[in-house]
Structure 1
Amino acid sequence: MWALGVIAYILLCGFPPFRSRDRRQSELFQMIKTGTFEYLSPYWDHVSAPAKDLINRLLVVDKAARLTAIDVLCHAWVLSRGGSQRQEQEQQTDSAALKDEQSRLRDQLVAEAAAAIEEFSKLKASSLYGGVT
């Protein structure tokens, strides 16, 4: 479960929870042993409180106090499928915008194809009648 907490942390912000500012291995090991980590801004500003709560409850040094697999599956963040209602609305808005853009591009391609066919027809007709008109 500890490893799940580390992986979740990395997936949500892009870097591991335990880092030595001075790149000292002894400091890094001490941070891991004590479970000392933080949520650095701006990397964590967009992450929900339930997601942070899950990580907090997984990165607990005392194994007996750490969440179990069943606890994780019943956690609010997991049950919400990792998103908030606002995030779901944003995804729906993004999806609608993407569909609109696809439709606009399709219409543009159809118009360009029609113009190309018309131009080709003119060139073909001019060559059939002996030259440029």
Structure 2
Amino acid sequence: MKQPDVCPCGSGRRYAACCHPLHAGENPAASAEALMRSRYSAYVLKLGDYLLATWHASTRPSELDLDADSSKWLGLTVRSHQQLDEHHSTVEFVARYRIAGRGHRLHELSRFVREDGRWYYVDGEMLA
């Protein structure tokens, strides 16, 4: 897939200077919010290996089949980022997407943990 000019994460920055260095393994995410944004961009760009690598081992699925996913991701809004302590954080977000022409919203409070200096997605609670 061709790299986008503007980063899909909604930062307004160029992809090459935003999520690409994380996706390429050049830099770890500096915060749970940065990881969450990069994971959203990875869904948009169908970067399954990155998603699995940034998913905590305790909750990580054995595989992802993003090629079978027909979702068209439309945008991301980060509602809040809360640093609970040095190693735990939450991010509340709304991601909009379309499947077969029908619009949907994913509203989630995601939990993240930092281990060995790297943030990992643990799980999330769906919100109304």
Which TM bucket (shorter chain)? under 0.3
TM-score of the aligned structures, taking structure 2 as reference length: 0.25
| Greater fraction of residues in helix | 1
More strand by share: 2
Q: What is the TM-score with the length of structure 1 in the denominator?
A: 0.25
Higher-Rg member (1/2)? 1
